[in-house]
Structure 1
Amino acid sequence: MAETAVAPGTSRVSSLLHDLQQLDHALYAAVAATDTPTLDTGLRRLSRAADNSKISLTIAALLALRPGRGRRAALTGVAAVGLASASANLVGKELVRRPRPDRAAAEVVADRQVPMPASASFPSGHTASAVAFAFAVSAGLPAAAVPLFLLATAVGYSRVHTGVHYPGDVAAGALLGTACGAAAVALFRSR
């Protein structure tokens, strides 16, 4: 019987991916198992408010009322949200097709839950859009960096807390959002 050749490093890569998936599931389970009744309502509301980038678009509308740098930052931020949303939802989720977490098996408290999206889990589109917006707006308005990145972090965490994403989905969304924010900034600086 002939032995099938395995590319060097293949077993190491698959072992690493397996370990990362195990860690991802363990972190998700730890969040689900942690009793946080004071946080549950607020994080559920934040997660819902971030649907369709409503928070970012509201902030952009307010910034657009300020002429000059505020308007330009708002426009760059909205472009970054559009790029991140398309990249996460039309490309990333379609390529990876990771199933959503099983909230019932993890026993995610009902008071935390938001409706489970029908789309794939990886990457988190909410996180990608929030981070892209924070990155793009902060490039034009540095004073906005800390509050916007704190908000983006809270949005990302809320997606794990409510049980609709694994932490790895959120981390990937943050990386994608950073890239999309940088691309939007570069596009607007070149004009």
Structure 2
Amino acid sequence: MEAPVTDDRLLHQRIAGGEEAALGELYDRFAPLVFGLSARITRDRSAAEDITQEVFISFWERPLAFDPGRGTLRAWLATIAHRRAVDHVRAQERRKASVLGPRLVEPEPERLEDAVLSRQEADGVRLAVGKLPDDLREVIELAYYRGRTYRQVAEELGLPEGTAKSRIRTGLRRLADALTEEGA
């Protein structure tokens, strides 16, 4: 389990040093995670592709925004992707509300293979979330399945914001470890 953390730190150092090949390695390693999370939240393949690109460009431009002492690179990238995807969904909802008023818009149908892959990934994540301790599972479900910000999670559960943030980070770290063990 120590090797991925060491690899991530080395990869981070290489990117911070401006090594373009390291960015390619980062993308190859984490793009499926970033894209999958973005696609699940936005339910829009094109938006998920854009968000994935934005996450990696942002990391390339500001690699020191990631602090390896505070968590894994995988969890950090997932958090950034989650935030951007939630922001995208909120912006879309505001846009639809202002243009369409109270009318509902039907989502575009998914391609069958995308739906199957998304379903398998979602089932694996759901199982891993279900195995978390109650306090961690609760914050992860609110943040990632219900689209709440850490502030909203804190408010809803009556927790200090720092506690909510900490539990979300810890929950993500445990999820990443569990999914890595399962080969996801």
* Band of TM-score, shorter chain: under 0.3
Which protein has greater RCO, CA pairs closer than 8 Å, 6+ apart?
Answer: 1
Structure index of larger Rg? 1
TM-score for both structures, normalised by structure 2: 0.25
